[in-house]
Amino acid sequence: MALHPRLRETMVDGGVTAPDARGLMPLAEARAALRGATAFVKGEGQWVDDVYVLGSDTLWAALLSLEDAAELVDVARRIDWQFQPRGMDNTDLYLRYGEGLVPWLATRVDEHGVLHDRPWCVVPCLLACGGDAAFELAWRVRRVAGRAITLAPAWLDRHPEVGAAALERLAAAGDRRARAHRVALAARGHAPAITAVPPTADDVLAHLDACAARVMTGAVSWPSLDGAGPTRPHGFRAVAARAGDDWGLAIERIEGERKGGVRGARIAVYAYGSRVRGGAAVSARPLALDVTAAPKDGFGDWLGARVAEDLEAVTGEPARALAALALPADARIVAVVPSLAHVAPLAADPHPEDAVAPHVVPSQSAVYGALAAALAA
């Protein structure tokens, strides 16, 4: 097999002037360069022909020149990665060793499911690997240290066929997280939808779990329980509706501290459902309450008191939520929950070291379970 052009360049960068028949550093030379090496460091630099070669470049070329993936895994797992290879999106190891690289990538994941992206080729190489073993590893990762990426959705979007099949197997065994990611994969346009028509309660909860975990589209978050100033919450209402086989759930968040103006108090409407583009959307509408007589100072406290007294006077009739759900005006409202006991997940993929309270997603909430049952009835 011809050597990938990228690897030929890496050999040049590594000062390999006499490659072997593979196009790589001769095997004996590579093994000698790595013998006793316990750290990947920058090292000294020197000119080789017209290329300035660092010690790290030579070690990298040697790592790419071992006999097979098994030998690479054995050598790489004992190395302390104090420096980086060239290129933050470096996939050299994958280009050379393919899926056989996965056992070494697995050594970069700690007991909390945190993937340590050092060297910084770890994430690009894992995203390049597309087999079942790579899925299992990506699925185990809850957070990536060193990169702002949620790994599971990124991997699934790169390998949707393998990912969809694996998620369906896990979902069939009762894994709610897998079911949510499978729904999200379809919503992102990378796999066929699997939601029943009409939807089941589990379908609705999987959809909501995906939105709460922020893996549905990446554009719309789940309404927060906290906030200050214009995002200070005063209460939540849920409105669930059906129109034929279509369903929608609006979570209305009454928020704000100002009587008026650009950042005045409002109702933020988080819409989820079968007709909502991308599965989730957020919009806003004015308060239904006449605030002309309300005090300017202390308006937030005044509004909170009004919400506690009569939430519907603040939000208006539940039917006002139908437009945000893209449902027709004659859609059937199947449930309204004033003073909603809203849930707010800690993170898309929580892990123990960040947990300051029990992780809750809609499928773990009795209230959301009842809403889903009403939508599926």
Six-digit token string for 149: 């990426």
Total residue count of the chain as it appears in this document: 377
Does residue 41 contact residue 85 with C-beta atoms inside 8 Å? no
* Other Cβ atoms within 10 Å of 343 Cβ, number: 19
Predicted model pTM: 0.87
Does residue 152 contact residue 215 with C-beta atoms inside 8 Å? yes
Measure the CA–CA gap between 178 and 169, rounded to whole angstroms. Answer: 9
Measure the CA–CA gap between 194 and 175, rounded to whole angstroms. Answer: 15
* Torsion sign across C-alpha atoms 80, 84, 88, 92: negative
* Other Cβ atoms within 10 Å of 174 Cβ, number: 8
Per-residue pLDDT of the chain (377 residues), as tens digits, is 689 999 999 999 999 999 999 999 999 999 999 998 999 999 999 999 999 999 999 999 999 999 999 999 999 999 999 999 999 999 999 999 999 999 999 999 999 899 999 999 999 999 999 999 999 999 999 899 988 888 999 999 999 999 999 999 999 999 999 999 999 999 889 999 887 888 999 999 999 999 998 888 766 779 999 999 999 999 999 999 999 999 999 999 999 999 988 899 999 999 999 999 889 999 999 999 999 999 999 999 999 999 999 999 999 999 999 999 999 888 999 999 999 989 877 544 444 444 334 457 899 999 999 999 999 99
Measure the CA–CA gap between 19 and 3, rounded to whole angstroms. Answer: 11
Task: Note the pLDDT of residue 219.
Answer: 61
| Residue where the block lists tokens 């090292």 | 43
Q: Which of 35, 39, 7 is nearest to 22 (CA)?
A: 7
Measure the CA–CA gap between 51 and 42, rounded to whole angstroms. Answer: 16
The type of residue at 96 is R
Task: Note the pLDDT of residue 360.
Answer: 75
Sheet holding 266-273, edge to edge: 280-285, 266-273, 246-255, 233-243, 332-337
Task: Note the pLDDT of residue 217.
Answer: 74
Sorted by where each begins, the domain ranges of the chain are 1-86, 229-353
